[in-house]
Each structure stands twice: as C-alpha cells, then as structure tokens.
Amino acid sequence: MYTPSFNSFTDRKDIITFMQRYSFAAIVTVVDDVPIATHLPFLVKEDGDKLFLYSHFAKANPQSKEIFDKTSLVIFAEPHAYISPSNYEKETNVPTWNYIAVHAYGKATLLESAQQKTELLKHTINAFEAGYLKQWEGLPDDYRSRMMNGIVAFGIEVTDLQAKKKLSQNRAEVEKDNIIQSLEKSADTNEREIAAYMKQLKH
C-alpha cells in the first residue's frame, strides 16, 4: 500500500484495535492473474506476538477453494470522508479524501473439523451478537450440522501488516481545524468518525 511517511500508521495495538472495530473486510486472492474478492466478517485475534484472522465462506463461493496454499490480502477500510478545498487557506488546492486502511497479508489454513467450526461460530456469535448464542445452541442438531456443512472455515496468520492514516497530517493546523469542524457538523457517521480520529492526532 502506498504510504507517504507522514501518513504512516505503525502502532500495532492501535492497528489491531482498528481492525477489530471495523472487522467487516474484503479478502482478495488472485486466480489466473485475475483478482477476486469476498466481503466477510473477521475475528482478529492475537496469540503472543502473532496475529490471526478467522472467518468463513459459503461453501458455494468459488473463492473458498482458492485461498489455500497462496497469499491472500485482507483489506480493512473504514471510515472515510471527502475533504473539500474550501477548508484550505489558498485557492490553489484540490479536493482529496481522508481515510484509514489496513492491509493484512497471509496464507489461509482450513478449519475442517466439526469442533473447529463449532468454536469459530461460537466466537463469531459472541463477537457480533452474544445474546444469540443461546438460541443457536438450542437449535436442532441436524439443522446446525447442515449450516456448518455449508461453510468453509479458515484462519490466516498475518505475515505482513500495512496500515495507513491519511488524515491531513501534511496540512497547516488552521486547515486541520477547519476540516475537523466541518466534518463534526456532518450528518454522515463516517465523516464524524474521521473528525474524531483527526482530533486524536492533535493530542
């Protein structure tokens, strides 16, 4: 990912927190020189100094057969906001976009056993709707088995982690303040979140 030095995002703890907050990501693989992607919810887990991503495909998804024995790219890319040149001091400026993105690379490992799938789904439910777990566990065994047979579960050990914060770090302080004030007034949640991330950089 192209990252100028002033947009560098290197704090590992903050990067992982960001990935966990915006955990609906796109997994990209290349088949016959053509990139293919699927959007999936990911569990982001640390194990010592290692980082793992866990998710599952629908078995009918052709990409589920293409992610093993090759490197995948998982892209976490929220929030974002259009930045108007009206926030700048000089007229000789153009619009841009502020955003935060994380690119995680690694090879997938198949989680094949019923126990592995059960654990993955349990952790996924706990992450996104813990209150549903009791209902899930109370469903008929044959129904749950059919659901689990219809997925391809996997884990990825992250071997390369690239992160970028493009938050107007190269602009004058007055311009940053103008942008923050403008975005804070927005009805768009993405824009207000970018304003909050920009304010964090000022502290």
| Per-residue model confidence as pLDDT tens digits over 67-102 | 998 999 999 998 999 999 999 998 888 999 999 999
**Which CATH number does the domain housing residue 172 bear?**
2.30.110.10
Q: How far is C-alpha 16 from the chain's CA centre?
A: 9
Average pLDDT estimate for 35-56: 96
125 located within any domain: no
Looking at the structure of the chain, the number of domains it has is: 1
For residues 169 and 6, the answer to whether their CB atoms sit within 8 Å is: yes
pLDDT digits (tens, 9 = 90+) for 116-125: 999 999 999 9
Dist. CA 165–CA 12, nearest whole Å: 13
23 located within any domain: yes
Residue-level pLDDT at 153 = 96
Q: In this prediction, what percent of the chain has a pLDDT beyond 90?
A: 90
100 located within any domain: yes
Residue-level pLDDT at 32 = 87
139 located within any domain: no
142 located within any domain: no
Average pLDDT estimate for 146-159: 95
Mean pLDDT of the chain: 94
Average pLDDT estimate for 184-197: 95
106 located within any domain: yes
Burial of 33 (0-12, 13-18, 19+ CB in 10 A): exposed
146 located within any domain: no
- Domain region containing 107: 5-112+152-196
Total length of the chain: 203
Q: Kindly list the distances between the CA atom of residue 63 and the CA atoms of 18, 20, 66, 124, 171, in Å, as whole numbers in the listed order.
A: 26, 23, 5, 21, 42
Residue 203 has pLDDT above 70, yes or no: no
Average pLDDT estimate for 167-176: 94
Residue-level pLDDT at 53 = 98
| Distant-in-sequence, close-in-space partners of 142: CB < 8 Å, separation ≥ 6 | none
184 located within any domain: yes
Residue-level pLDDT at 77 = 92
Tokens of 61: 């998804």
